[in-house]
Amino acid sequence: MLKLKKVLALSVAILAMSSNFASAQELEIDSTAAIVNSNIILTSELNAAQEQIIRQFKRQNNSNLDPLTARKAALEGLISRELILQMAKRQGIDITDLQLDQALSQTAARNNMSVQNFLDTYMPGMPLAQAREKFKEEFIFNELKKSQIRNRINVSQTDVELLANNLKKAQANSVEPRYHLAQIIVPLSAQANIQQIQKADATINHIKQLLRQGANFNELAARYTQGSLAAQGGDLGYLPESQVPPPFLPALLKAKPADVLGPFRSPYGLHLIKLIDVSTELVEPVRLYDASHILLSTSIIFSDDAAVKKLKEIKSAIESGNMTFAQAASKYSEDTGSAINGGDLGYATPETYDPAFASAMVKLRQGQISDPIKSSFGWHIIYLKDVKIDKNSMQAYEDKARALIYERQFKEEALNFEREIRDMAYIQVLDPQLLKANINFNQNN
């Protein structure tokens, strides 16, 4: 039904751009808010996303977001989502029902809910099948976005060693400052010409003028930030000092709460940073996990269902005492590097592993074997043998530093990725409210 509505709405959108639109209006089931390449975003989708952002902003900032700003931010997010889902479709990316069930189970568990309760909360009032399909789209969206951005990241060993030393010093001091930050980014390419630079400067100066007149920083972030970040209203949450981007830190060290800093130029644009609050916290110790695993890879002739079934059989055999985990790993695991050692991976930080693997591992109790979990390498069962605090090993701090730098670069490269796919796309905004307000969706500053 949703696809039918979209087809009819797209027909109306096309007819709307012709002289025969009046006679076509009677066909309209749901109007079109925007055209994105060969697909559309429905007004009903935009309305729902707008309401969600208004509720989210109220919850996070305890203030009301202007409906037009919320509508613009909602459409920014929907456009980015649609472009990435189109990319997934072109590349033939999909997930099986089993993979969807596993993703739902893991996500619900992280939120301490049953799958049913999670879906009821995630999409209130939506039929189960439709809620599952919506979650599937979001899962594919996030996985493809992560895989595309991952290929752009380059973490240098010099940066890793510098941050690792700082982390070790912070551990010795036991406490580390944490900064609650918000930011506004005006996109500006590193290859921008004079006119584009002047336009971005004018936008930043206009924003600063509005701030001096008492405008809400988070509202302006939602209004001027482009892409999916607009929906966040600029709030970065609390960042430990070790995670603050280096270009911002010198000014931040001299700032006091409520100060607005910048603009700072980066490869991604012009940044204004607001310091909301400063606090200190005990430094999280570096934990090392001693785990073993058994890996089974899937193929055309060995499906996800078959891998899960086999791993459950292996787990049952281990727990019933028919074989040890090490024996099972040596016999069945397709990770030849660890299989020769009975599946042993040695002591390592969670950041060393695939995120799905690490997430499952840290939830285990010592001596526990996980249910089958899916990572980017295949299906695993994990046996957690020991956890210890590492206070001296530089390697542990380097693992932590590498993960922090990766996370920071990921956020930065996400901006570039979204801007690039938008620059190559055909996007036409048709929503009457946004058109009447002359809202700018142009990425080419």
Show the tokens assigned to 278: 């400063």
Given a cut of 80, whether residue 19 has pLDDT beyond it is no
118 and 171 share a domain? no
Count Cβ atoms below 10 Å from residue 282 Cβ, excluding itself. 8
The residue range of the domain holding 341 is 286-390
Q: What is the pLDDT of residue 174?
A: 63
Residue 97 three-state SS:
helix
Beta bridge partners of 295: 380
Q: Assess whether 311 and 241 both reside in one domain.
A: no
Tell me, yes or no, whether 353 lies in a domain. yes
Same domain, yes or no: 330 and 368: yes
Whether 405 and 7 have beta carbons less than 8 Å apart is answered as no
Quick one: 254 and 236 in the same domain?
yes
Taking only the tens place, the pLDDT of each residue in 39-60 is 999 999 999 889 988 888 887 7
Per-residue pLDDT reduced to its tens digit, 219-277: 888 888 777 777 777 788 888 887 788 888 889 989 999 999 989 998 878 999 999 98
Query: Are residue 227 and residue 168 in the same domain, yes or no?
Result: yes
Asked if residue 442 belongs to a domain, the reply is no
Domain identity same for 44 and 135: yes
Q: What is the reported pLDDT for 32?
A: 92
% of residues, the chain, pLDDT over 90: 31
- Do 270 and 293 lie in one domain? The reply is no
**CATH code of the domain covering residue 99:** 1.10.4030.10
| DSSP character string of 148-174 | HHHTT----HHHHHHHHHHHHHHHHHS
Amino acid at position 421, single letter:
I
pLDDT in tens, 83-129: 999 999 998 888 888 888 878 877 877 677 788 888 888 777 788 88
3-state secondary structure of 395: helix
Beta carbons within 10 angstroms of residue 149's beta carbon = 19
Give the pLDDT score at 129.
Answer: 87
Would you say residue 141 has pLDDT above 80?
A: yes
- In single-letter form, the type of residue at position 50 comes to Q
Task: For 205-236, give the secondary structure using H, E and C.
Answer: HHHHHHHHCCCCHHHHHHHHCCCHHHHHCCEE
412 and 385 in one domain? Answer: no
8 Å CB contact between 79 and 427: yes
431-435 long-range Cβ contacts below 8 angstroms, 24+ apart: 431/33, 431/34, 431/43, 431/46, 431/71, 431/75, 433/68, 433/71, 434/68, 434/71, 434/72, 434/75
Residue 90: both structure tokens together = 């072109």
Spatial CA neighbour of 55 closest among 238, 273, 233: 233
Shared domain for 322 and 367, answered yes or no, is yes
Please state, as a whole number, how many other Cβ atoms lie within 10 Å of the Cβ of residue 203: 19
pTM of this structure: 0.64
Confidence band (pLDDT; 50, 70, 90) for 305? confident
Say if residue 151's pLDDT is above 80.
Answer: yes
Instruction: Give the chain's domain count.
Output: 3
In a domain, 322, yes or no: yes
| Pair 83, 197 in one domain | no
